[in-house]
Amino acid sequence: MSKHLQTFTKQHPPKFKLPNPVEAPTRVREMAPVLREDGKTAQVLCPYCKPSHLLIPGQPSLCGTSIKITAVQTIYTGRFIAENGILCAKCRQGGGEMVAYRNVYTHIPDCKPDTFLLPELPKFQPFAGVVFRMKDGKVKEAIERRLGLAQIVKETNSEGQPTGKVLGYFFLKKPGFGYPSVEL
């Protein structure tokens, strides 16, 4: 910038000032995104721009639109749980807030983080049953290091009580969890 232009700018400041986006009073408008499906995939498009453009979660677009995806879960209050005598499928105790999981209820926060309730049956593997029944030792550790932890899947009834029936065995491929028990 020339010296003359600097002097002129100091003597004649601009009559408008762009607001700092952080300090500016703002509102948010929300509208459902436009979905475009083409066979096996779906695209999420901006509802404000014409022509519409692709929106990517976590990345604001040039027009200022961003998309957020949220998971919503219904929480049942302690009063509802107590009035209906509902028991947690993991710890078999009542009280506290719970969420519905398939046909049973579980506490929030998680009362037994080492116990998993599976959303669907895993692919059972007969060899996992053999490994599960092995005594702890070097052979079992080597197999589980390679294939995952051998787990048993036990059935529970609609009240969350175990029926005693073993549905099968599978390898859990999540290292570092120890030996969680799995119920369905």
> Domain ends where: 87, 112, 137?
112
Give me the average pLDDT of each 10-residue run along the chain (184 residues).
67 63 71 86 89 86 85 89 88 88 85 78 90 92 88 76 86 58 48
- State whether 169 and 128 are in the same domain: yes
- Would you state the pLDDT for residue 133? 92
Is 6 within a domain?
A: no
> Domain ends where: 88, 112, 136?
112
- State whether 103 and 143 are in the same domain: no
DSSP 61: -
- Would you state the pLDDT for residue 169? 92
- State whether 128 and 95 are in the same domain: no
CA distances from 123 to 65, 148, 152, 170 (A): 42, 13, 12, 7
Is 80 within a domain?
A: yes
Is 27 within a domain?
A: no
Cα angle 85, 89, 92; round to 5: 65
How many domains does the chain divide into?
3
- State whether 127 and 162 are in the same domain: yes
Cα angle 129, 133, 139; round to 5: 100
- Would you state the pLDDT for residue 64? 86
- Would you state the pLDDT for residue 13? 67
- Would you state the pLDDT for residue 105? 87
- Would you state the pLDDT for residue 39? 83
Residue 88, classed as helix, strand or coil, is strand
- State whether 171 and 141 are in the same domain: yes
Residue 107, classed as helix, strand or coil, is strand
pLDDT in tens, 62-115: 888 888 888 888 999 989 989 989 888 888 888 899 998 877 888 988 888 877
Q: What is the DSSP string of 143-178?
A: HHHHH-EEEEEEEE-TTS-EEEEEEEEEEE--TTS-
Range of the domain at 82: 71-112
> Domain ends where: 96, 112, 128?
112
Question: Largest Cα–Cα distance of the chain, in whole Å?
Answer: 90
